[in-house]
Structure 1
C-alpha cells in the first residue's frame, strides 16, 4: 500500500507533483483553508483531497512546496500540530531556501519529533510523458522517503547533511535565474538606448546559445517574477552578507520586484522584454 502523503500547497508545482503521485495510486492530502477558488479548482483537477491540519499531520510524508518566504511559518504550523500526535511524519522541505534557513526549519521540525529531509526541486512541474523535475534530497532521513522514487518522482540522493540539497538549489538557481535576470536588465537597457535590434543580431551571430535561451527564458520569467524576489534574497543570504556577490542577488531581487510591479501595472517593460524574445524566436 502506498504511504499517505500530504502536499502543501497546491500551487503550480505542488499540484503537478500531487497529480503525479495520484497517478501512481496515492491519496494526496492538502490544506485548502483560506485558499482561492482558482487554487481549489487546481487542487481538484490534480486529484488532491482537502484535509484538516490534524489529518495532514497524521500523514506518513508531508511535502512542503511553498514560496520561500512562507517555509519557516509552515514548519512552525506543522510542528505545533505534530507535537500533539503520537505518530511522527517525515517532512520534506522542497523550498528554495538557503542553508541557514533550512537549518532553522530543521530545529523546528525535529523539536516536534518529526524527521526532516532537505530537498531541492530542479526543473519544471511534472507533465505527462516526462520524468522530471529532479528531487535532490539530503539529510539523515533521506532514505526514509526512497518510496517516492517508486511513485513517479525522480528522486536523487545527495550524500550529505541537511543543507546540502538547499545549497545545490541556491547554486543552481543563482546561475540559472541569475542569467535570466542579467538578460532582462541588459535587454531593457539596450531597448531604452535604441540598440535592441543590434543586441539581438549580435547575440544571434556570436552567442547563439544565449540568443536562443533569452527567446524562451525571458517571457517565461515575467509571470513568475514576483516569486523570484524572495528566492534571490535567499541566494544573497546563502552567499553571506559580507560577500560582495550577495549585492548582485539583492539587485536581482529588486529587479524582479520591479518587473512584477510592471506586469501588474502598465506592462511597458514587460512588453519590451516580450518583443525582444519574440524576435529572437522568429530569427532562429
Structure 2
C-alpha cells in the first residue's frame, strides 16, 4: 500500500517536494492553519490536503521543511499529536540546521515514540525533469524513508548516525551560501567605491566562471535572505564557537539580515547588487 506523507510546510521547497510525491500518486497532508493565501494556493497546486495535527501524526512519514529557526518549534508543536498517535510515523527533519540542533529535534520526537531520521536538502526545489535536488538521509531508519525514491525523490543515504546528513548540508551550504555572502559584500563595496566597472572587467578576463556563478546566484538570493540568517547561525554552530571560521558565518548572518530588511523596505542594497550584475551581463 502506498505510504501517506505529511509535508510541512508549503513553502517553495516543501510544495515542490509535495508535488513530486502527489504527482506519483501519494496522499500528501499538511497544516495550513495561520498560513497566507499564497501558501494555501501553493499547497492546492501541489496536491496537499489540509488536515488536523492528529491526521499529520497518522501519516507514514512526516517531512519537516521549514526555515531553520522553526525546526525545533515545529517538532514541539507536533509532539502532543505524535504522542497520542497509535501508529507512529517516521519524522524526517529536512531543515538546514546543525547536528546539535537536529539532535535536540530528535530528542523531542523520540520521546513521543515516533521514529526519527535526519535529512538535508541540497539543490533547488525539485522539478519533474530534474535530479539536481537530493535529500540526504542519515540514522538507523534512513533506509525506510528512502522508499520515497520510488515516488520521484532522490534520497541518498549518508553513512553515519543522526546528524551526519545535517553535517553534509552544513558543509555544502557553508561553501555555497557563505561564498554568496562574500561575493555580495565585495559587490556592494565596489559599487560604493566606484570600482565596479573595473572589477567586472578584470574578473571577465581572469575569473569568468566565478563572475558568472556569482551574478547568477545573486538575484536568487534576495528573496531567500530572510531564511539564510538562521542558516548561517546554524553553520557557525557547526563550525564551532571556538574555531576562528565561525565568525565568518556570524558576519554572513548579519549581512543576510540587512539584505532581508532591505528587500522588505527601501531596496537600496539589492538595487546596487542588481546594478553590479547588470554590468557583468553587458560586459
Normalising by structure 2, report the TM-score.
0.98
- Counterpart of 2:214? 214
What is the CA-CA distance between 1:85 and the residue it aligns to?
1.7
- Counterpart of 2:77? 77
Mean CA deviation greater in 51-60 or 70-79: 70-79
Q: Verify the 8 A CA contact 2:188 2:273 in the aligned structure 1.
A: yes
Distance 1:122 1:6 in 2: 20
Kindly tell me the number of residue pairs found equivalent between the two proteins: 283
Q: Verify the 8 A CA contact 1:94 1:119 in the aligned structure 2.
A: yes
- Counterpart of 1:17? 17
Q: Does 1:99 align with 2:110?
A: no
CA RMSD of aligned residues (A): 0.9
Return structure 1 stretches of 4+ with deviation > 3 angstroms: none
- Counterpart of 1:43? 43
Distance 2:100 2:269 in 1: 35
Q: How does 1:236-247 map to 2 (within 5 A)?
A: 236-247=236-247
Distance 1:162 1:280 in 2: 43
Q: Deviations over 1:41-95 (max 9, x none)?
A: 1100111111100000000000000000000011112222111122100011000
**SS of alignment partner, residue 7 of structure 1:** strand
- Counterpart of 2:226? 226
User: What runs of 5+ residues in structure 1 fail to find an aligned partner?
Assistant: none
**SS of alignment partner, residue 83 of structure 1:** helix
**SS of alignment partner, residue 95 of structure 2:** coil
Distance 2:183 2:83 in 1: 47
- Counterpart of 2:275? 275
Q: Verify the 8 A CA contact 1:131 1:152 in the aligned structure 2.
A: no
What is the CA-CA distance between 1:269 and the residue it aligns to?
1.4
- Counterpart of 2:191? 191
Mean CA deviation greater in 89-98 or 207-216: 207-216
Q: Verify the 8 A CA contact 2:146 2:156 in the aligned structure 1.
A: no
- Counterpart of 2:33? 33
Normalising by structure 1, report the TM-score.
0.98
Q: How does 1:96-135 map to 2 (within 5 A)?
A: 96-135=96-135
